[in-house]
Structure 1
């Protein structure tokens, strides 16, 4: 079995790479561990697949070197993503914050675009494989693998590693790319779960657990960045879009700040009501902003049964601190089982920004999540997968 390139990993990056290589007349064989390609595409966005973001630039990515991304994003733009999917029957419908979903279609349709194109161009996708060994040869690379109980091998001048990161091991995620890179002397930026719910333990655990299911629109921030979206209280801590976003910038031991009423000043609102309606209780005043259950929980911090006219200066300061500067020190995160992506990965310094070829292992390319490129929530990581795949396909 011979090909122009072997692509290990049949996810977003691997599938796009096979298709783009096919457009150039290159023969590619995709080796996939799972029983079908695109496993993580299929579960993305709750099965709806947020396949890009209208505002994607290098600024929405965490990496040691954001300049590294400019070449890939210049070679394959958001407009290229839109055009590609529209050509094959998937139009985008923009939701909040530039997130683009297939209009009237879903993640299965996205995967079908790739599998049907691969079939049309006779790009082979072999599923249910286990890689046994990858050997450098005079001709390039030989990959030995097991398929349906039989040992097989394939030879090609170029090798593409697109096996993703560590999140969701039950979907087949492994550290294959990282181990392979380390074996060949490539530096790895320390990895950790990202876009992941945060856990609360200790004395505050019960308070958060009682609020499980409550969602509040907030501004969540730390010393680096802030995000404005919903947070979701859970029986083990905090989740929701704003928490997932800040988790990529959070490290164990750090405190995050939550503004429970962004764009409004709670004391200005209170003082306005005090002059006309000072006899109402603080709890009644707060009900205009939050659910009854959430207001009741705030009794831990605030004198809810006092009238707003009777609040002391210290109590008003406490109200401001609670609403606008609510401090949370998470104990940890929910780990790779619940993380959407991985932070860290193969150091971008090890790769050519123009081709994504390894500097230490010529002929080998790395793309997608295994590289130290971690996007925000909202389609950004797919845009990196498509862009890195396109760049690699041009050079294999």
Structure 2
């Protein structure tokens, strides 16, 4: 089938999705003299890159190791990270004019603070390297044939198909539907007999319903540096109260390790002891005054539902102190659910790592088919980790197509 194709339709590989993984894959393939075509159903490339980090794009994290990733196989991502390191990411972007500015916890942002600069690096390189990006083009089906694949797609209301010896699924995950998120990657995997690990929203706000909801609503907008944990993980960052529950970096982080029906715990005063503070303060002081100094007046008043805030410190009983200690250091929350894929940063789960070679990211069952980025069961923490996985997986695939 490939013999009669013109140059315009002769590609070494077709990439589905012009996100971080797909764009990096196309550029790296171009460096190796290979020609790729990216099919992207949005009207512009890099839609999720453009909104990441509030439009500033936290494009990697200096502390990246396999330990910051959730997967059925914790070791799977190690090979990709050995082949494309954080230093490689930094050097790559510096080469094309983007210098990193480090924020908290190893997060790197472009000095310009503009995510569009990151996308421009890729679109410029694709143009220079003769890598085609076909926008407003929706891939419909991937069919293995002899020596390759046919890719059925729809563009401007017309159906058509292309041939390529290799296909890369860089389709992303299920967040965020307004950016055109679909389950095409997972659906294709299942159609071709590949296992997909159960998916769920990750890095997502948690909701509180029922009689407790009004307590959270009154604190909407309040932010507190806390330690949030369950039996699987622990994070120290800010939490944010909202009118529907809890958000903020520490909550987004723990959400990836939370399952419906479970509780999480919050230490509202990490690395300090509330009881020690009480015992050292002026005993005539009201508990509410003390708490207003440690938190905010609004939060101290809200704690009056649970604590005897009108008592002075001297009159607090042993039971009171125990209650205060538990509430401040082990505040228990049982979320009703999450805000779902539309508010999630990423998706947990995806194409099973058992189905892919960790060295090449090629399907073991369907030779010539590769999966990278978010549609694979490799989910990073908040703070640039998922971008590092996207860049690394795109690079790895490019070396093997």
Fold conserved (TM > 0.5)? yes
Q: Structure 2 length as normaliser, TM-score?
A: 0.97
Post-superposition shift, 1:69?
1.1
In 1, are the aligned partners of 2:57 and 2:113 still within 8 Å (CA)?
Answer: no
Query: What SS does the aligned partner of 2:321 have?
Result: helix
Pairing 1:171-182 to 2, within 5 Å after superposition: 171-182=179-190
Higher mean displacement: 125-134 or 230-239: 125-134
3-state SS of paired residue (2:303): helix
Say yes or no: does 1:326 pair with 2:334: no
Q: Superposed, which structure 2 residues align to 1:325-364 within 5 Å? A: 325-364=330-369
CA contact (8 A) 2:225 2:239 kept: yes
Q: Which runs of 5+ in 1 are unaligned?
A: none
1:23: which partner in 2? 31
The answer as to whether partners of 2:141 and 2:188 remain within 8 angstroms in 1 is no
- What is the number of residues matched between the two proteins? 393
Specify the alignment match of 1:303 in structure 2. 308
Which runs of structure 2 are paired with 1:112-261 in the superposition (5 Å)? Answer: 112-261=120-269
Q: Is the 8 A contact 2:206 2:335 kept in 1?
A: yes
Give 4+ residue runs of structure 1 displaced > 4 Å after superposition: none
* Cα contact 1:2–1:154 (8 A) shared by 2: no
Q: Who is 1:95 aligned against?
A: 103
Inter-partner Cα distance in structure 1 for 2:129 and 2:337: 47
3-state SS of the aligned residue for 1:232? strand
Partner in structure 1 of residue 5 of structure 2: none
1:50 aligns with 2:68: no
Task: Indicate if the aligned counterparts of 2:18 and 2:46 stay in contact, CA closer than 8 A.
Answer: yes
| Structure 2 unaligned regions, length at least 5 | 1-8
My pick for the range that moved more, 141-150 or 39-48, is: 141-150
Distance 2:137 2:112 in 1: 34
C-alpha separation between the residues in 2 aligned to 1:135 and 1:316? 66
Deviations, residues 331-379 of structure 1 (Å, cap 9, x unaligned):
0000001000000011001000100000010000000000000000000
Which of these residues, 356, 366, 370, is aligned with residue 371 of structure 2? 366
Following superposition, the deviation at residue 285 of structure 1 comes to 0.9
1:142 shift after superposition = 1.3
- 1:53-92 equivalent positions in 2, closer than 5 A: 53-92=61-100
1:160 alignment partner, SS class = strand
Contact 2:20-2:46 at 8 Å conserved across structures: yes
Counterpart CA distance in 1 for 2:324 and 2:308 is: 9
Residue 151 (structure 1) shift: 3.1
How big is each residue's C-alpha offset from its partner over 1:41-70, in whole Å with a ceiling of 9 and x where there is no partner?
000000000000000000000001111111
Q: Following TM superposition, by how much is the alpha carbon of 1:154 offset from its aligned partner in structure 2, in angstroms?
A: 1.8
* Kept after mapping to 1: 8 A contact 2:232/2:257: yes
Alignment match of 2:384 (pick from 375, 379, 384): 379
The residue that corresponds to 2:41 in the other structure is 33
Could you tell me how far 1:143 is from its partner in structure 2?
A: 1.1
How far is 1:145 from its partner?
1.4
Alpha-carbon separation, structure 1, partners of 2:162 and 2:134: 12
Matches of 2:245 and 2:327 in 1, distance apart?
18
The whole-number CA distance in structure 1 between the counterparts of 2:153 and 2:259 is 38
For the Cα contact (< 8 Å) 1:231–1:242, is it kept in 2? yes
Q: Describe the superposition over 1:177-209 as per-residue Cα deviations: whole angstroms up to 9, x where unpaired.
A: 000000011111100000000000111111011
Task: Indicate conservation of the 8 Å contact 2:64/2:86, yes or no.
Answer: yes
Q: Measure the CA separation in 2 of the matches of 1:68 and 1:51.
A: 21
